[in-house]
Every structure is written in C-alpha cells, then in structure tokens.
Homo-oligomer: A and B are copies of this chain.
Amino acid sequence: MSLLTIGSVAFDALETPFGKTDKIIGGAATYITLSASYFTKNNNLVAVVGDDFPESMIRDLNSHGVNTDGLQVRVGEKTFFWSGKYHNDMNTRDTVEVQLNVMENFDPVVPASYQDCQYLMLGNTAPAIQKTVIERLNSRPKLIVLDTMNLWIEIANPDLMALLKLVDVLVVNDEEARQLTKEYSLVKAAAKIRTMGPQTVIIKKGEHGALLFQEDRIFFAPALPLESVFDPTGAGDTFAGGFIGYLAKTDDISFDNMKRAIIYGSAMASFCVEKFGAERIMNLTQDEIDERVSEFVKLSAFGLN
C-alpha cells in the first residue's frame, strides 16, 4: 500500500561525546522515508528544502524508491538547519542553533499522484502544517500516524489538540506523553491521550524500549541493549518509519500486526544510532534487518513450560 510522509528535510550539525559533524543531511521525513523504504517502494514524500540542498541527496532518496514529486525546492532560500549537542548520557541534548529558513512558511503541496495514499505519516513539524496535509487529501487514509515534540506541546497546543482528533496513532516519547497529559504514569498518560483522539498510542522510552497502548491492551517492545550509542539523532523518526513502513507493506492494522511493526521499527532504530545521522540506514540489506529482528525475538522470548 502507498505511504505518504510529511515532515522536515534538513541540515543538521551534531556533536556527541564521540565526535562532531559539519552540516549533514537530517530531518524527520528523511529518516522516516529512508527507514520505510526497506518495507515499501510506494513511498511518497511531502517536504520543502532550499536550493542549497544537494541534488545528489534527492537522487539518493529516489534510488531508495522515495517519490520526491512532493518535495518543493525553493530557489533563493535556505534549507531548515538544526544543530545540537548531546550530553554524556546520550539521552539528553541541547539545541545549539535553529534556522527555520524554508520551514517558516512551508505550505505543503500534495501531488495528484499521492492522492490514493492509504498510510499517512505526519512526521514532526508544526501541527498546523500537519493538519493541512490531511485536509488536502481527497479521501481519508486508512491509517494516520502522528509524531510531535515538546516544542509544539508548548507553543502550539490548540493546533495540536485539534490535530489529535483527526489521527489514529500518536507516537511520542515518555517525557512528551507526560508533558501532554500532566500524568507521570505512562499508563494513565496513554489513557488520557486516547480521550484526545488517537485510539492507539505508542510511547517511546529510548534505550528502555517502547510501549503500545490500544483499548485495554498493552504491548512492550524492548530496545536492543547496545554496547555503545554513537548518535541518537533520528532514532525516533527511524522507528516511526519502520513502524508505518511495515504496516503499509503488510496492509494489516490489527493489534498483533502493530506489535510486529514496532519490533521492525525498533530494529531499524537500533541501526540508526550506530553511526552519525542517517549514514547507517542508507545502505542496509534485508539480511541485516532480518538478523536484527531475530535478535529482538531472542531478547524477549520466554516459554512458561
């Protein structure tokens, strides 16, 4: 089934305890579409960049089967830029600099060829922009998944609340879930989010795995214990891309299949953190992915006899 992804395509400059980068390619939608490309080739991107964005990267996306007809390239403008520095624990980071550039007045255009999309991934960007994409689709997709962040919970709360009513799945991290609901318990937070609209809630806990909530059911997917995390940038987006990519591939949105989708998403995220930026998820093989998923099975399987 076809997947439509909207979100930022950006330049990032990163500093971790292991090193630093100059401007490299980043952005939520970049990680999502790359990750999803290992599951579905009907993979459509809506985003905006400036004319400083390298054409070679657009070709790289295309070679992964990502349709960039919906990627606007604004002449004379600059691509969104974010730079951040991770603390020693790699779980927390400071934003060093943000240049909104083309994102400041991003008006997402949905090409006619995208209109039949069944799976919609609203990657992290302003809720008003995310909502516009839903409104510009002629028919409602089968599944709408939303990612958001602390910034929008703070500065665009009414927009976010309006958007939440329209989506099926919310993907947030534990801090965002708590911030959104004012509940410390993630069980209570998920229940409260489900009253806001999305009937399925995924709470990412980084190195501690992810929780899936739907009706009275909870599923817990572990994160793979890693010797070292090189760069966590994009891990959440890569997770989301694997999740919705797997659902689009299998076209099955049952709870049991969402469990599998979360395992695949977690496997994709575990690759992402091994190198700077999106480098590690640019060239994965199916064998590598299958082997990583089997590590998740070994990690969490037990029999009661």
Check A225 against B184 for contact (C-beta < 8 Å). no
A263 proximity list for chain B (CB < 8 A): 302, 304
Check A208 against B205 for contact (C-beta < 8 Å). yes
Check B185 against A228 for contact (C-beta < 8 Å). yes
With the chains together, A303 CA to B88 CA distance in Å? 36
With the chains together, A186 CA to B223 CA distance in Å? 12
Contact of A184 among B89, B186, B211, B297 (CB under 8 A): B89
Known interface pairs A187-B227, A220-B299; 5 further A-B residue pairs with C-beta atoms within 8 A, sorted by A's residue number: A187-B226, A188-B227, A205-B208, A218-B299, A256-B302
With the chains together, A219 CA to B299 CA distance in Å? 5
Which residues of A are at the interface with B, using a C-beta cutoff of 8 A?
Answer: 88-89, 184-188, 205, 208-209, 211, 217-222, 225-229, 256, 259-260, 263, 293, 297-300, 302-305
Check A208 against B209 for contact (C-beta < 8 Å). yes
A187 proximity list for chain B (CB < 8 A): 225-227
A220 proximity list for chain B (CB < 8 A): 209, 222, 225, 299-300
- Copy number in the complex reads 2
With the chains together, A257 CA to B152 CA distance in Å? 47
Query: A219 → chain B, closest Cβ, in Å?
Result: 7
A260 proximity list for chain B (CB < 8 A): 302-305
Query: A187 → chain B, closest Cβ, in Å?
Result: 5
With the chains together, A228 CA to B211 CA distance in Å? 16
In the complex, the chain B residue whose C-beta lies closest to that of A217 is B298
A228 proximity list for chain B (CB < 8 A): 185, 188
With the chains together, A298 CA to B219 CA distance in Å? 7
Check B222 against A222 for contact (C-beta < 8 Å). yes
In the complex, the chain B residue whose C-beta lies closest to that of A223 is B220
With the chains together, A260 CA to B305 CA distance in Å? 9
Check B219 against A300 for contact (C-beta < 8 Å). yes
With the chains together, A184 CA to B18 CA distance in Å? 14
Check B219 against A302 for contact (C-beta < 8 Å). yes
With the chains together, A188 CA to B259 CA distance in Å? 29
With the chains together, A217 CA to B300 CA distance in Å? 11
Check A209 against B222 for contact (C-beta < 8 Å). yes
In the complex, the chain B residue whose C-beta lies closest to that of A191 is B227
Which 9 pairs across A and B sit closest by C-beta, in order of nearness?
A208-B208, A259-B302, A220-B222, A187-B227, A187-B225, A220-B299, A300-B300, A220-B300, A185-B227
A299 proximity list for chain B (CB < 8 A): 218-220
